[in-house]
Amino acid sequence: MALLKIGYLGPQGTFSEEAALLYQGKVECCLCEYPTIGSVIKAVAAGEIDQGLVPLENRLEGGVGATLDCLSTSEGILIRNEVYHPIRQCLMAEDETRLGQITVVLSHPHALGQCAKFIDKHLSKAKLLPVESTAAAAKSLAGKPGYAAIAPRRAAELFNLKMLKEGIEDNKENATRFVVLSSVEQKPTGNDKTSLVLTILDRPGSLYRVLGCFARRGINLTRIESRPSREIIGDWLFFIDCEGHSDEFSETGLWQEINSEITFIKMLGSYPKGETDSVDN
Amino acid sequence: MALLKIGYLGPQGTFSEEAALLYQGKVECCLCEYPTIGSVIKAVAAGEIDQGLVPLENRLEGGVGATLDCLSTSEGILIRNEVYHPIRQCLMAEDETRLGQITVVLSHPHALGQCAKFIDKHLSKAKLLPVESTAAAAKSLAGKPGYAAIAPRRAAELFNLKMLKEGIEDNKENATRFVVLSSVEQKPTGNDKTSLVLTILDRPGSLYRVLGCFARRGINLTRIESRPSREIIGDWLFFIDCEGHSDEFSETGLWQEINSEITFIKMLGSYPKGETDSVDN
């Protein structure tokens, strides 16, 4: 049997690759790098790869727009797993360097923001240079004494850099939730979550009545996130996660009842609950 | 009487400055530039300026995180007006240039994304170079033949550039909603909106019951947007806009009833409804 092919958002050396490597530790597979979230999802839809791993939301930043947009419009793509990966930022340089000797710090703007307190305390004299990814920051250090990058641990291994300090993020509880996508539905396991996206009718109280359809059945919502529709200006998409499997909801008549309050609904999949704090690297 | 001082997010030549100039056309005032959204809001709170104008949400991109974060934590700051400003992207260069001769296009990543179709059709051979703001892109064109920037019309005036093409954005309905902040409460006008932010109890159905408090009183929600709390991991802030003035809600007992379902609530202000499509420049 051919090895399972799993696509992820590149480049190598980012938190997305770290999460893909973590998943590879549990599921035997080979990893394929893709340049954008959209290209991972398209490759799954086209059957080019078996599964795709993409970031869905970050605990501090909220939903990842590109993933939410693609999921709400892609046909035949379902979430089959979720993976929580802690965001641990590391300071690295080409050679062993004292913090006081660092003149320039490169990273993705989000990563610079996530380490603001550490930078303030230890790197206040360094110039901050935002670049397109943490991996790009790490990769560009070659031949630049006094330069350092903030990036995941994996980037230091990959580009042969010296680790100056691990875990420099301000908030130790930050994590990104990745989802694994495929075209195959998951059977109920008894400990599932369901994700869906819907657009409500433009009538006073519609969202209230939609939530009532869940509440009256004792279905617990674990997350609701709104996002403007890119297709119809003024419309909002609501991304809802709830406890349970969609097969179980069908039996309660949920979908029929909800239909009178919405203009659009799309199932994003039912899948086993991921462990929030299982990962500690 | 001293002239009203109004702060806005700089630099000059951005959509924020365009919106500030638009507001200046209606309210006699002098404009002061600030480097960040947080610094505008702090200056209002400190009484350094009378009012501050900041972007709150974009129709396509959704809420502006920095503004929402600052509003939810600042004391004594209230929204007193809203201003809708259409996002009209323009292509400009140092000299009159044919589109086929452009080799590099600079702009903010969002602006490049908003003009993807135009770029695909007319500038497919040009290299795209993301920079920190549309104004920075326009400013950097001096002495660079073959370079062009995507920026607001105002940037062309300011940096003395040739306008090559106006209105190149893919979506003609895109607009940003700005809010004017001050420390003074607005009286009811009969055609108001109210903005507030709250955190709900972590209990099944809490959001449903909160929305019920509004629905039962016939209060129409015009927007609800969720965003992870930056203070308590796992908590969500819900930003709610509704029709009416908070003085009117008080009479209905709304606040008392809502209190049993929430852990935090903050009024962001009641203010006259802005005209969504009044601006056409």
pLDDT above 50 (res A277): no
Model confidence pTM above 0.90: no
Average pLDDT over residues A23-48: 94
| Amino acid A130: pLDDT | 81
Q: What are phi and psi of A144, to 5 degrees?
A: -125, 85
User: What is the 3-state secondary structure of B29-93?
Assistant: EEEEEECCHHHHHHHHHCCCCCEEEEEEEECCCEECHHHHHHHHHCCCCEEEEEEEEECCCEEEE
A215 → closest Cβ in B204, B230, B236: B204
Average pLDDT over residues A119-129: 93
Residue A89, token pair as written in the block: 């930022």
Of residues B60 and A267, the one with the higher pLDDT is: A267
Q: Give how far A5 is from chain B: nearest CA, Å.
A: 30
Chain B residues lying within 8 Å of A174, measured CB to CB: 233
Q: Give how far A239 is from chain B: nearest CA, Å.
A: 10
B60 → closest Cβ in A132, A208, A230: A230
Strands B236-243 and B104-107: unpaired
The verdict on a CB contact (< 8 Å) between B215 and A233 is: no
User: Could you tell me the domains of chain A?
Assistant: 1-86+174-183 (3.40.190.10), 90-166 (3.40.190.10), 192-270 (3.30.70.260)
Chain A residues lying within 8 Å of B60, measured CB to CB: 228, 230, 233
| Amino acid A43: pLDDT | 97
| Unique residue bearing structure tokens 């129409």 | B220
The verdict on a CB contact (< 8 Å) between A228 and B204 is: no
Average pLDDT over residues A11-33: 94
For chain B, 281 residues long, give each residue's pLDDT as a single digit of tens.
689 999 999 889 999 999 999 999 999 999 999 999 999 999 999 999 999 999 999 888 788 888 998 999 999 999 999 999 999 999 999 999 999 999 999 998 889 888 989 999 999 999 998 887 899 999 999 999 999 999 999 999 999 999 999 999 998 888 999 999 999 999 999 999 999 999 998 787 889 999 999 999 999 898 898 888 877 767 889 999 999 999 999 999 999 999 999 999 999 999 999 987 433 33
Chain B residues lying within 8 Å of A60, measured CB to CB: 228, 230, 233
Of residues B231 and A45, the one with the higher pLDDT is: A45
Give the mean pLDDT of chain A.
91
Average pLDDT over residues A210-214: 95
Q: Which A residues in the span 118-137 are in contact with B, Cβ-Cβ below 8 Å?
A: 130, 132
Residues whose CB is less than 8 angstroms from the CB of residue B187 and which lie 6 or more positions away in sequence, other chains included: none
The verdict on a CB contact (< 8 Å) between B208 and A214 is: yes
Q: Give how far B77 is from chain A: nearest CA, Å.
A: 24
A62 → closest Cβ in B58, B211, B228: B228
Q: Give how far B158 is from chain A: nearest CA, Å.
A: 26
The verdict on a CB contact (< 8 Å) between A221 and B211 is: no
Q: Which B residues in the span 234-253 are in contact with A, Cβ-Cβ below 8 Å?
A: 234, 236
pLDDT above 50 (res A280): no
Q: Which B residues in the span 62-91 are in contact with A, Cβ-Cβ below 8 Å?
A: 62, 65
> CA B78, CA B96: separation in Å to the nearest integer?
45
Residue A169, token pair as written in the block: 């993020």
Q: How confident is the model at residue A217 (pLDDT cuts 50, 70, 90)?
A: very high
The verdict on a CB contact (< 8 Å) between B215 and A205 is: yes
Determine which of A15-24, A229-238, B19-28 has the lowest per-residue pLDDT on average.
Answer: A229-238
Q: Give how far B205 is from chain A: nearest CA, Å.
A: 5
Q: How long a stretch of residues is chain B?
A: 281
Q: CB contacts < 8 Å between A and B, how many? A: 72
The verdict on a CB contact (< 8 Å) between A226 and B221 is: no
The verdict on a CB contact (< 8 Å) between B204 and A221 is: yes
Which of A112, A171, A222, A226 to probe by mutation at the B interface, max B CB count within 10 Å? A226
The secondary structure element, H or E, covering residue B242 is strand B236-243
The verdict on a CB contact (< 8 Å) between A228 and B174 is: no
Average pLDDT over residues A178-196: 96
Q: Give how far A75 is from chain B: nearest CA, Å.
A: 22
Chain B residues lying within 8 Å of A130, measured CB to CB: 132
Residues whose CB is less than 8 angstroms from the CB of residue A118 and which lie 6 or more positions away in sequence, other chains included: A91, A165, A168, A169, A170
Q: How confident is the model at residue A203 (pLDDT cuts 50, 70, 90)?
A: confident
Summarised one tens digit per residue, pLDDT across range A243-254 is 999 999 999 999
Q: Measured between alpha carbons, how far is residue A16 from residues A82, A105, A160, B231 in Å?
A: 13, 22, 19, 25
Q: How confident is the model at residue A131 (pLDDT cuts 50, 70, 90)?
A: confident
Residue B132's closest chain A neighbor by CA? A130
In chain A, pLDDT over 70 holds for what percent of residues?
97
3-class secondary-structure state, position B129: strand
Chain B residues lying within 8 Å of A173, measured CB to CB: 233
- B262-272: strand order across its sheet: B221-228, B236-243, B192-200, B262-272
Q: Give how far B45 is from chain A: nearest CA, Å.
A: 23
Residue A209's closest chain B neighbor by CA? B208
| Amino acid B19: pLDDT | 96
Q: Which A residues in the span 186-215 are in contact with B, Cβ-Cβ below 8 Å?
A: 204-205, 207-208, 211-212, 214-215
